[in-house]
A and B are shown apart, each in its own frame.
Chain A
């Protein structure tokens, strides 16, 4: 399975600021995804990070709020822009397996907006 590293693992952010989360995979992967998980809740797909093109966003998520980069097959970033307390959550990076039938997750980035 792929090893996925995320940073920061945890941060406390001021309202109105932006934070970029980095995700590094130890091997080339086709698909990378970003999820949000609020405490005690399920995982909500934010977007699919596409290599060489704009990310594909799920309903309710927009590029201006969550810009995503994917410069190559092993790396992606998610920015949470103009943060508010409602953005306090765990943000999880994931990548698909070579077969495409399952996904592996990073450890997550815990963001608290104050």
Chain B
């Protein structure tokens, strides 16, 4: 399966700063999902986007699917230490889920 690229690979922010991770594909995505993995934990589903240009919010998290369905972003407003972890985008292709390269977020208190 194809791998979706994410940038940046790592991000350190001061608590209270905003954070954005981007997910990019060379091909059109049928859907995009976002997962969070806390240090030492397993990935946990956050959200799924299906429609072109779709925007969804979960409290301080804003998820967006590009108009061309080739990219997606996750934006966190006013980060907190509880936001620490690695954020993965993933695509459901057929019956299989393929994960992006991930962005590791460190929040400095």
Contacts and interface: CB of A to CB of B under 8 A. Distances in A.
A96 B92 CA distance: 11
Nearest to A101: B48
Contacts of A1: 45
A35 B95 CA distance: 14
Interface in B76-109: 88, 92, 95-102, 104
B88 A104 contact: no
Contact of B97 (A33, A41, A107, A108): A33
A106 B44 CA distance: 10
B1 A104 contact: no
A45 interface: yes
A65 B33 CA distance: 30
Interface string B23-63: 00000000101000000011111001000000000000000
Given A45-B1, A48-B95, A101-B48, 8 more contacts: A1-B45, A33-B97, A35-B99, A42-B102, A48-B96, A100-B95, A106-B42, A107-B41
28 contacts: A1-B45, A31-B95, A35-B99, A40-B104, A41-B102, A42-B3, A42-B100, A42-B101, A42-B102, A43-B88, A43-B99, A44-B99, A45-B97, A45-B98, A45-B99, A48-B95, A48-B96, A92-B42, A96-B95, A100-B95, A101-B48, A101-B92, A102-B45, A102-B48, A103-B97, A105-B44, A107-B41, A107-B42
The 4 closest A-B pairs by CB, nearest first: A105-B42, A43-B99, A102-B45, A42-B102
Interface of B: 1, 3, 31, 33, 41-45, 48, 88, 92, 95-102, 104
